[in-house]
Structure 1
């Protein structure tokens, strides 16, 4: 979607990632021979190297920034899982719904292409129903993104602080996602703390991409804990096997008792089995939650902030969708050069940059970033998710 702001500036929004069964609905903006190009790009990179500041040519980008991907994992849904979290009659009902909602934030992506590295101070501001979502790039080196989302009607708040650390492993790239996610159900006085799985990009012998690692979800007020493992098993030489697996358990930490066993696939169905009664039920259906997603629309063009991702990267996104790789290269260089000039000017003036929407701190003891929103509620956005 392309919308003009003013006389020349355009805002470009694209469709969220779909499940594999709907891949034919995605725009064909990917360049040919991506695997060959990727191998050529990485041939001089040593295993173990940190790829955080590695610059990708536009042929390896899809038309979104990292901030947009973070935001989409919250506001791009076909069903309102957040309301289900809030409406649960018991702490266990609510906790199980939170586990399902956490799984819904795990989204498909495509092999061989990555989002843009967000610029310092870049923002992404979108509303979906009563949920207002705001993401800001609060640090550049290291890259840290902060998310604040609120629903005043449901009295729900989300606060995320994330730092991706991609490393080259020789035949694969593993992007560890550091940081904490908080979901607060204010009506119930409950806070849920959780982390994110890591993204594993397998280059050889068989190209593929999946989310892997352990996700822990805990509610200090109720003592309920979930231990979820994202797995991707492969048979000999990487062929066959099962992908996108989820295994885990929900337990009462005060009694050290397992209440439910969790099993399924994050891109299909996830079930829980009651360890007491043996009853099995579905808690998450990816087709219901993240299928049929549509491109967001712009309700108020003039209210879009100058720092909005869809505006900052508009020229590059349009060039990628048009497969105009020369124009894409120029557009990407323009954005990067503007950022270098901005950083250089601040350094010369001795100015310290501060995020507009978050108070940010870093703990050397725990190696964790803390991102506290400066406002209680996120305002309604000019961009609307459908």
Structure 2
């Protein structure tokens, strides 16, 4: 039974006592990454069985409280940065002069981050309404990349994010909207979100969808995560429909992908195959007899993790500070404390929601505005980032959105709803332009 692998509070290392485990850790000086451990004891099995008894195939899981031992030590707002941890590939794509090859490199960049995940079956913490997360990267080319995210909706859960490398004219906007369902022996996160990549100096826009995520083997069989269905990437003149193939009950293989790069008239150029968490290959379809070559090897490329301000500098609704006690308890595998601290965070959220209803007050994000008619996403960062090559002005504008770099302080303007800040900014711009 796969449920045996979801039981709650095992000894830290299989077949070892807590004391011997501690000695082992001390000797090796290597902390165990609890995100990579499947928990297993009787209390965990009872919790899962109790949850399953309440579910029907097709029901929404977003309102179900899941046990803490299947939670990753980070919020969804931080988890999104997995897709951004290969900035070198993005910079390489931007600098490519040939449009077709540039599109292929965009595909390579977007595929590169999907293998970054816990080895065990874990899901990120569900962000609470108004939670936000900021981060930055110091890049090898001496430039910096900046990231801002906020939970803009709770039911359904929607995370909006913004990423930019100003000096390289690269901007990413996106929303992640996971719609969870129970499917019997599986659960699914149907990913309705979209990512928009823009090369500002080229005037090029790419839209990138996300594959769906499945947890297989909840009731029987081996528990594992699969990516499935389709990821569609479109550029100005090229596109690809990448199928993430799930393993069949009898035949097939895990983690396989397959897709063909085509132009808008349907002409085929490249075939992309392989496994999203292993080696991805590319084959030139224009040359008869051509062989597939490695496009990306997950074993030979190393992610660049984002940098975050110290906890003591963070606001109470910043992800790492908000979930700090939960994350520490998860790291120590103290699920009783993790459950209680998680309840405190979520109960406070319920009380705030109740008070808003009583006061007749609507929630408004502080960092993202609702989209205008015709825009691709539901939300965009409220701040206008200047066009052109004035990088100092662009960076200044980004750093005014929220504290991102160490030493930055919150200002009173931070508390103003994003839509109001956006309106004020538009008025100031119009006055400066003499309108």
When the two structures are superposed, what TM-score results if normalisation uses the length of structure 2?
0.74
Equivalent position of 1:287 in the other structure: 299
| Cα offsets for 1:122-144 (capped at 9, x unmatched) | 11111112111111100011111
**Bigger proportion of residues as helix:** 2
Residues 311-330 of structure 1: matches in 2 within 5 Å?
311-330=321-340
Cα 1:66–1:299, aligned 2, differ >3 Å: closer, same or farther?
closer
How far off is 1:290 after superposition? 4.4
Aligned to 1:92: 100
CA distance in structure 1 between the partners assigned to 2:45 and 2:113 by the alignment: 27
Q: Does 1:188 align with 2:195?
A: no
Match of 1:205 in 2: 221
For residue 255 of structure 2, the aligned residue among 244, 258, 267 is 244
For 1:248 and 1:85, locate their aligned partners in 2 and report how far apart those are by CA, in whole Å.
19
Q: 2:33 aligned with 1:26, yes or no?
A: yes
**Counterpart Cα distance in 2 of 1:87 and 1:288:** 22
Name the CA shift for 1:173/1:303 in 2 (closer, same or farther; >3 Å). same
Q: Per-residue deviation at 1:383?
A: 6.8
- What RMSD, in angstroms, separates the aligned Cα atoms of the two structures? 2.8
Q: Which of 213, 217, 223 in structure 1 is aligned with 2:233? A: 217
Question: Residues 104-123 of structure 1: matches in 2 within 5 Å?
Answer: 104-107=112-115, 108-123=117-132
* Largest Rg, 1 or 2: 2
Please tell me whether the aligned partners of residues 269 and 286 of structure 2 are also in contact (alpha carbons under 8 angstroms).
yes
344-353 or 80-89: bigger deviation: 344-353
Give the whole-Å Cα distance in 2 for the aligned partners of 1:279 and 1:383. Answer: 49
Evaluate the alpha carbon distance shift between residue 207 and residue 199 of structure 1 in structure 2; reply closer, same or farther with a 3 A threshold: same
How far apart are residue 66 of structure 1 and its match? 1.4
Instruction: Provide the secondary structure at the position in 2 that maps to 1:331.
Output: helix
Q: Distance in 2 between matches of 1:38 and 1:73?
A: 30
Instruction: Tell me the equivalent position of 1:231.
Output: 245
3-state SS of paired residue (1:80): helix
User: What are structure 2's unaligned runs of at least 5 residues?
Assistant: 1-30, 139-143, 386-393, 408-435
Alpha-carbon offset, residue 279 of structure 1: 4.9
2:133 equivalent in structure 1: 124
Q: Which region of structure 1 is more displaced relative to structure 2, 41-50 or 116-125?
A: 41-50
Further displaced range: 256-265 or 342-351 = 342-351
The correspondence for 1:169, drawn from 180, 183, 186, is 183
Shift of 1:245: 0.8
Match of 1:373 in 2: 381
Shift in Å, 1:65:
1.3
Equivalence for 1:11: none
Q: 1:266 aligns with which of 273, 276, 279?
A: 276
Hey, what does 1:5 align to over in structure 2?
none
Please tell me whether residue 334 in structure 1 is matched to residue 340 in structure 2.
no
My pick for the range that moved more, 241-250 or 35-44, is 35-44
For structure 1, the 5+ residue unaligned runs are 1-23
Structure with larger RCO (C-alpha < 8 A, sep 6+)? 1
Aligned residues: 350
Which is strand-richer, 1 or 2? 1
What are the Cα deviations for residues 187-224 of structure 1, in whole angstroms up to 9, with x where unaligned? 2211001100000110233322111111111113xx11
Q: In structure 2, what is the equivalent of residue 83 of structure 1?
A: 91
Give secondary structure in 1 for the equivalent of 2:300. Answer: helix
Structure-2 separation of matches of 1:300 and 1:320: 19
